[in-house]
């Protein structure tokens, strides 16, 4: 069986399910949020892949939102119990999301759904094969600009460093990666978008502390 057939599904009804952020009080699709649970030992644990048992505590995928939840005791309030919150929780989330992106890049390579190197990536872009373009955040701006000019409507992400991309692909150095359009590209688009909330300044208009519920949502699981 082709490797791409082993990945968990993405998109569709489950991704459109809404959850309420315990910091802002607003509802968003699950794809834009992060799930946390309280472990049997009473510690708050990130559940990046949304598989751990227990009641889900959901946060908008941004570093400042996680910091607000920790600083205002909102995990304990939402869990209705005393909980232990790691001091480096936001850093843990960033590391887990980065690892998730690298793992998915590796899966895409093994499935034949990714290529790397400037010339190969440019060829995929010209052929319309690329569903998501990676450009290393620490790569040369000139190379990023040239590929962006060819990308057109293709999503472009610069959230990973060259060493992270290379590690995911099993190489020593990688600056440009193209992922073929399809399920893996959609999954990577979601994960890189969530990771960007921990590596770039928040750019939304949502205000921390806005407790107004905008729609009826399910708050658990």
Determine phi and psi for 55, rounding to 5 degrees: -70, 130
pLDDT (tens digit per residue) in 150-179:
999 999 999 999 999 999 999 988 999 999
Residue 19 exposure: Cα atoms within 13 Å on the Cβ side: 23
Beta bridge partners of 132: 179
Helix (H, G, I), strand (E, B) or coil at 66: helix
The alpha carbons of the chain give a radius of gyration, in whole angstroms, of 18
The residues, ordered by sequence, that sit 6+ positions from 56 with a Cβ below 8 Å of its Cβ are 19, 35, 36, 37, 47, 50, 219, 220, 221
Q: How confident is the model at residue 141 (pLDDT cuts 50, 70, 90)?
A: confident
pLDDT for residue 19: 96
Nearest CA-CA partner of 31 in 178, 168, 180, 186:
186
pLDDT (tens digit per residue) in 61-96:
999 999 999 999 999 999 999 999 999 999 999 999
Q: What whole-number distance in Å separates Cα of residue 23 and Cα of residue 212?
A: 11
pTM summary value: 0.84
CB 75 within 8 A of CB 36: yes
Residue found by looking up tokens 């052929």 in the block: 127
Q: What whole-number distance in Å separates Cα of residue 41 and Cα of residue 45?
A: 10
CA distances from 186 to 10, 157, 198, 203 (A): 7, 12, 20, 22
pLDDT (tens digit per residue) in 17-42:
899 999 999 999 999 999 999 999 99
């Amino acid at each position: 069986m082709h490797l791409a057939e082993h990945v968990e599904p993405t998109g569709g009804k489950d991704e459109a399910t809404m959850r309420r952020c315990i910091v802002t009080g607003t509802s968003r699709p699950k794809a834009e949020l992060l799930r946390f649970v309280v472990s049997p030992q009473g510690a708050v644990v990130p559940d990046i892949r949304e598989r751990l048992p227990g009641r889900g505590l959901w946060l908008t995928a941004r570093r400042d939102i996680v910091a607000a939840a920790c600083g205002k005791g909102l995990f304990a309030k939402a869990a209705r119990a005393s909980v232990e919150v790691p001091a480096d929780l936001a850093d843990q989330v960033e590391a887990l999301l980065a690892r998730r992106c690298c793992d998915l890049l590796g899966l895409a390579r093994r499935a034949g759904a990714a290529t790397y190197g400037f010339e190969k990536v440019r060829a995929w872009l010209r052929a319309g094969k690329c569903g998501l373009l990676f450009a290393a955040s620490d790569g040369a701006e000139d190379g990023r600009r040239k590929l962006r000019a060819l990308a057109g409507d293709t999503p472009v992400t610069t959230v990973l460093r060259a060493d992270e991309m290379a590690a995911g692909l099993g190489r020593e150095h990688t600056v440009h990666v193209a992922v073929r359009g399809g399920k893996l590209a959609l999954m990577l688009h979601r994960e890189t978008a969530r990771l960007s909330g921990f590596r770039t300044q928040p750019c939304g208009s949502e205000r921390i502390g806005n407790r107004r519920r905008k729609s009826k949502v399910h708050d658990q699981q």
